[in-house]
């Protein structure tokens, strides 16, 4: 199955598909810049309604050694058999995400905070960001304030790629239609340039080839969230 031509791919694959998790940080940043007027929110209510609905969670700490252990575990699960099931726990996936975000925002004083969580068959991405005081095009009342965003992602297998379709968007306490959110992404230079994202379909397509040599000749038959794990049914 060929990748759609309009889905932007990165210029290099050295960091692999796990490094590309940091691309989700770019989505967070772009969506935070949605014109507030589109949301119909009163000026004085902005900070409250845009604040994260859940402020208790903490992002995993970047840990290169732990990230390497997760990668080695995945490689061991692949084994030598023709077909096998790989499992990623919520903790493992969040470790990879934390490392990827640290690589993407290495010099940020207050980088975006993000985590994955599993809820039945949906993979959720929760994020918090503090808008810089010098941000352009953002109401002054929002600058320096925490803002939350939540993406509901439906995973599925595409043979040679992982698909994560955006089926739910929430900014702070406000649900935002997916079509509106993707339209805003497509209409910005930053959004149009996010690797692996097709704004028109609201879908991330992450090629298995980005895993490196270990994924050569691999086919993804099934992808699901079950029993607190992300399960990938693959064959060589």
Predicted confidence (pLDDT) per residue in 148-157, tens digit: 788 899 988 9
Question: What number is the average pLDDT over the span 83-105?
Answer: 85
Instruction: Report if residue 3 sits inside a domain.
Output: no
Instruction: Report if residue 125 sits inside a domain.
Output: yes
Structural domain that includes position 81 = 16-235
Instruction: Report if residue 47 sits inside a domain.
Output: yes
DSSP 107: T
Beta 219-226 vs 229-235: how paired, if at all?
antiparallel
User: Cα dist. 114→10, 57, 61, 124, 165 in Å?
Assistant: 22, 9, 11, 10, 18
pLDDT over 90 percentage in the chain: 3
Of the candidate ranges 9-13, 187-191, 216-220, the one whose mean pLDDT is the lowest: 9-13
Instruction: Report if residue 168 sits inside a domain.
Output: yes
Q: Can you give the pLDDT at residue 222?
A: 92
Instruction: Report if residue 201 sits inside a domain.
Output: yes
pLDDT (tens digit per residue) in 42-80: 445 555 656 666 666 778 888 989 988 988 888 788 776
| Total tally of structural domains belonging to the chain | 1
Instruction: Report if residue 5 sits inside a domain.
Output: no
Q: Does the pLDDT of residue 2 top 70, yes or no?
A: no
Alpha carbon distance 193, 122 (integer Å): 26
Instruction: Report if residue 2 sits inside a domain.
Output: no
- Is the whole model's pTM more than 0.75, yes or no? no
Instruction: Report if residue 187 sits inside a domain.
Output: yes
Q: Does the pLDDT of residue 8 top 50, yes or no?
A: no
């Amino acid at each position: 199955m060929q990748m759609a031509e309009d889905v932007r791919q990165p210029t290099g694959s050295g960091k692999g598909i796990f490094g590309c998790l940091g691309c989700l940080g770019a989505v967070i940043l772009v969506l935070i810049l949605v014109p507030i007027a589109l949301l119909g929110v009163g000026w004085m209510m902005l900070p409250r309604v845009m604040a994260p609905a859940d402020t208790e969670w903490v992002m995993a700490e970047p840990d290169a050694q732990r990230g390497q252990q997760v990668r080695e575990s995945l490689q061991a699960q692949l084994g030598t058999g023709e077909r096998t099931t790989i499992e990623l726990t919520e903790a493992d996936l969040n470790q990879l995400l934390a490392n990827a975000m640290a690589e993407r925002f290495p010099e940020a004083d207050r980088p975006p905070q993000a985590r994955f969580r599993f809820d039945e068959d949906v993979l959720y991405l929760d994020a918090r960001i503090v808008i810089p005081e010098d941000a352009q095009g953002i109401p002054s009342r929002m600058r320096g304030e925490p803002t939350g965003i939540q993406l509901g992602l439906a995973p599925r297998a595409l043979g040679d790629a992982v698909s994560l379709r955006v089926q739910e968007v929430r900014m702070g306490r406000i649900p935002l239609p997916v079509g509106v959110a993707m339209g805003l992404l497509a209409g910005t230079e930053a959004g149009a340039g996010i690797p692996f994202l097709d704004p028109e379909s609201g879908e991330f397509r992450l090629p298995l080839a980005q895993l490196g040599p270990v994924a050569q000749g691999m086919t993804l038959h099934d992808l699901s969230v079950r029993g607190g794990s992300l399960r990938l049914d693959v064959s060589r």
